[in-house]
Chains A and B, each alone.
Chain A
Amino acid sequence: MALDKTGIAKRIAQELQNGWYVNLGIGIPTLVANYVPDGLDVEFQSENGILGMGPFPFEGEEDADLINAGKQTITVKKGAVFFDSATSFAMIRGKHVQLTVLGAMEVSQNGDIANWKIPGKMVKGMGGAMDLVASAENIIVAMMHSNKAGESKILKECTLPLTGVGCVKKVVTELAVIEIKDGKFHLLERAPGVSVEEIVSKTEGDLVVPDFVPEMVI
């Protein structure tokens, strides 16, 4: 059965390593914070100027001065820090953040990502995404395998304007975990009960499929 958004977040949470600073994009990536494996010490950075984000506040304790990059009210953990936007992107550009998780409209087999603009439609802007993908050494894309029209988002080449080139290392969708390496997609895991055939049929790009593809353990 294909994963829901929570499942995708849970699977990505398994990628976390002790001691990592992590930047989570808006949407599914944000959910990853809820599933940090026990005993792992990771800190969440938000590009609007905070390190050490905690959960949402209790009702009535919202603070207008305390938001994340999605403009949601949040709280902080002990040891948190606030800083300005230049310092925040110094952390990102300077590779002090070990993992970036973000959503995408398209990913190509050489690791290009498109997630900010659809020609002819309203363009809201790239926010911090271009800085994040240009600098992060470890980028995981969290997204649905296909778009609403049923077309694959895992492509030989992106058709939409790019956010970054050759940067994505791994994609986690409702169907599969896919690694990007040597200009090709490599199927690592399939969602519980999802067949390799289904994944292959929904993947437009070149997908290397090993003899045995394990099921994800969520």
Chain B
Amino acid sequence: MNFLQPFEKIGELALDKLAFAGRMGIFLAMSIKNLFLPPYKLWPVINQINFIGSKSVFVIMFTGAFTGMVLALQGYYALRQFGSEGALGSAVGLSLIRELGPVLTALMVTGRAGSAICAEIGIMRNSEQLDALECMAIDPFKFLIVPKFIGALICLPLLTSFFDFMGVYGGYVIAVKLLGVNEGAYFQGMFKSVIWDDINMGIIKSFCFAVIIIWVCAGRGYFLHFEKEGFGAEGVSRVTTKAVVMSSVAILVWDYLITSMLI
């Protein structure tokens, strides 16, 4: 029987991961189901928009501006070799709108709001608050999870717009004001080369990322009691870390898939 042990271990691990995937799948299904069930309450959604959106604005604008600045700087020195600094606006615009805007926004939201959501729900699980909700016959999905999904779906595209906007102007400051690129070339080149399909791709990405962030972060918090080390403050922080990593990786993977489908 001993020779079977390694197989057993692998099997156990695989079953564990499968069960995890299954739980997450059920979590998403329940969330979506509750998304369409009445009652529809506005106030919790507003609260979530405030938390996910309003409070992330400054971080997003900041990172957006600096991303645009780095893009402009790098792009300038790359393009100058071919005498095509005029294409800088187009390069900055396309990278921002298609890729970096949605992805970096999602990564920052994961770090700021996603981790907080995971910790919040994890702590609720740990301190029996979720049980208490159940006992009051209040559905935790409807009460807790659905507003977060709606909030994220509303906020992410808007935050991505902020990011893009700041990135465009951050790039503008560096390219036009500092490096002396032709202002008209920067903006008109950008406006011309970015087409609606690119913006559309960015929007689709940010919707997907919104779902991923809430799904992964809220889900891991919700199923905290299934994690082996999920107890106490340390357990919550460990699971939060895992959720952030998982959500970041998922964002990058989906980004690739969406890009390869829509390009």
Note whether A and B form a binding pair: no
Interface residues of A (CB under 8 A from B): none
